[in-house]
């Protein structure tokens, strides 16, 4: 990272702010109040793992015109001062009496007329990263200004990635590709899954991940039970399918894809399941186009799996990706979000081989005018077998 600690040139952030302000104008919002790590990073370039501490709230206010204002704990002033925005207001947090609330209220009252509306992300997949009691106090303090739903204003901008962002996500995918290549070199029968997870995280770091925010996976005879469990101490054995799924991070941008490995020879039903997942992904890669909806992608994938004789399983079949491990939309039958050029998505079809035995396959793509372009290197058509 350069001395000023910005991941991108300041112009990238200015474009984002102008785009947000365009959406805000259309939605009748006089400001946006942002509290989530990804929204703060998106608007300011402020990148830190310090979010891991729940102790302090952090606020960015995007006004109707002009640059954002940061209202943050003093401990972050040095790092925010190396970002592009100039108006940084701090307090000594955590303060049990007034943890930034009055400073934030003053800022909002300065930037927003009394009749104004302040948008916050409050819809699906959003959280407000501040204490609820302080949020209720804030509402009283800034009245008659109203808090309104700013979800769409934020999502419609953030979901379209710039070429600079796409390059970052591709770089992280390339790191994970290389780490997955190392798996057959360190995995062997008898190794506990916990050790596989540790070695895989080491491989991601060695290949250039700044940190590894997510590793999940599973191993089981002829398939696995779920895709979100931490590792157990069970040793790998012949007949297992090993799945590793990762959200590594480089310069603040995630990848999110998995790979499957047969321990010993893959059984026929595992091969068939893998072939159906591979074929369904090929179908989606060939047929998805901008203007389709998230639920259309669900239909494409699930119909392709059914044509292959597979039973669809494993939850949603994909989602957005970028500044967090998962972003909206969700590839479900219910999500009507339009898929647009520049969206980065995962295709994540899953099948149920038998009760309690699933197989999930995942790729990362960016949607272009002519269709999806892979960001992860395409998984092999046949599941790799680890014979050692």
Q: Find the shortest distance in angstroms from Cβ 210 to a second copy.
A: 7
Least CB distance to a second copy at residue 323 (A): 10
Tell me if 91 sits within 8 A of 103, measured CB to CB. Answer: yes
Question: 363-375 as b/e, with b when 16 or more CB fall inside 10 Å?
Answer: bbbbbeeeebeeb
Minimum CB distance to a second copy smaller for 83 or for 379: 83
DSSP, collapsed to helix, strand or coil, labels residue 33 as strand
216-249 burial, b at 16+ Cβ within 10 Å, e below that, comes to bbbbbebbbeebeeebeeeebeebbbbbbbbbbb
Which of the 8 DSSP states describes residue 50? G
CA–centroid distance for 376 within its chain:
15
- CB 1 → a second copy: shortest distance, Å? 5
Nearer to a second copy, 219 or 325 (CB): 325
Q: Is the dihedral of CA 29, 34, 40, 42 positive or negative?
A: negative
SS3 88: strand
Nearest residue (CB) to a second copy, 80 versus 365: 80
Output DSSP code: residue 49.
G
Q: How far is the CB of 18 from a second copy (least distance, A)?
A: 25
How far apart are alpha carbons 77 and 82 in whole angstroms? Answer: 9
What tokens does 82 get? Answer: 């190396």
Nearest distance, CB of residue 219 and a second copy, angstroms: 13
* Smaller CB separation from a second copy, 181 or 282: 181
Q: How deeply is 342 buried, as exposed, middle or buried, from its count of CB atoms within 10 A (0-12, 13-18, 19+)? A: middle
Nearer to a second copy, 1 or 387 (CB): 1
Q: How far is the CB of 286 from a second copy (least distance, A)?
A: 27
Minimum distance from residue 265 beta carbon to a second copy (Å): 26
CB of 76 to a second copy, least distance (A): 6
Nearer residue to a second copy within complex by CB, 165 or 256: 256
Nearer of residues 33 and 304 to a second copy, judged by Cβ: 33
- Beta-carbon contacts of 90 under 8 Å, excluding residues fewer than 6 positions away, are 71, 72, 73, 74, 76, 77
Nearer to a second copy, 270 or 358 (CB): 358
Q: How far is the CB of 167 from a second copy (least distance, A)?
A: 18
Q: Find out whether 301 and 317 touch, Cβ atoms under 8 Å.
A: yes
19 vs 128 by CB, closer to a second copy:
128
Q: Which residue has the tokens 């372009």?
A: 373
Give CA–CA dist 248/217, Å, rounded.
Answer: 14
In the complex, what is the shortest distance from the CB of residue 371 to a second copy, in angstroms, rounded to a whole number?
25
The pair of three-digit structure tokens given for residue 32, joined into one six-digit string: 């946006």
Nearer residue to a second copy within complex by CB, 71 or 325: 325
Residue 69 contacts residue 60 (beta carbons within 8 Å): yes
Task: Please answer whether residues 297 and 319 qualify as being in contact, where contact means their C-beta atoms are separated by less than 8 angstroms.
Answer: no
């Amino acid at each position: 990272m350069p001395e000023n600690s910005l991941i991108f040139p300041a112009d990238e952030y200015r474009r984002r702010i102008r785009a947000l302000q365009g959406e805000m104008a259309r939605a009748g919002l006089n400001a946006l109040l942002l509290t989530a790590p990804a929204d703060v990073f998106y608007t300011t370039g402020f990148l830190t793992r310090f979010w891991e501490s729940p102790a302090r709230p952090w606020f960015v206010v995007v006004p109707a015109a002009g640059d954002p204002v940061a209202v943050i704990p003093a401990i972050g002033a040095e790092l925010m001062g190396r970002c592009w925005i100039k108006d940084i207001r701090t307090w000594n947090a955590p303060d049990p009496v007034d943890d930034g609330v009055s400073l934030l209220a003053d800022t909002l009252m300065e930037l927003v007329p009394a009749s104004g509306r302040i948008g916050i992300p409050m819809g699906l997949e959003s959280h407000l990263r501040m204490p609820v009691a302080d949020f209720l106090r804030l509402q009283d303090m800034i009245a008659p200004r109203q808090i309104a739903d700013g979800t769409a204003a934020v999502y419609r901008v953030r979901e379209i990635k710039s070429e600079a962002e796409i390059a970052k996500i591709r770089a992280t995918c390339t790191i994970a590709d290389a780490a997955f290549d190392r798996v057959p070199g360190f995995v062997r029968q008898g190794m506990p899954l916990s050790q596989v997870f540790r070695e895989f995280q080491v491989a991601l770091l060695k290949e250039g991940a700044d940190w590894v925010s997510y590793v999940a996976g599973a191993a089981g005879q002829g398939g696995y039970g779920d895709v979100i469990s931490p590792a157990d101490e069970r040793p790998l054995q012949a007949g297992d399918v090993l799945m590793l799924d990762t959200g590594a991070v480089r310069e603040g941008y995630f990848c999110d894809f998995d790979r499957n490995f047969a321990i010993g020879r893959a059984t026929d039903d595992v091969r068939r399941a893998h072939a159906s997942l591979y074929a369904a992904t090929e179908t989606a890669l060939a047929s998805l186009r901008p203007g389709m909806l998230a639920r259309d992608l669900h239909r494409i994938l699930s119909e392709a799996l059914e044509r292959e004789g597979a039973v669809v399983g494993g939850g949603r079949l994909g989602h957005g990706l970028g500044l967090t491990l998962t972003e909206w939309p969700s590839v479900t039958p219910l999500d009507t979000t339009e898929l647009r050029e520049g969206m980065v998505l995962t295709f994540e079809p899953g099948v149920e081989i038998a009760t309690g035995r699933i197989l999930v396959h995942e790729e990362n793509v960016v949607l272009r005018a002519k269709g999806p372009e892979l960001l992860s290197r395409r998984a092999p058509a046949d599941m790799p077998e680890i014979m050692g």
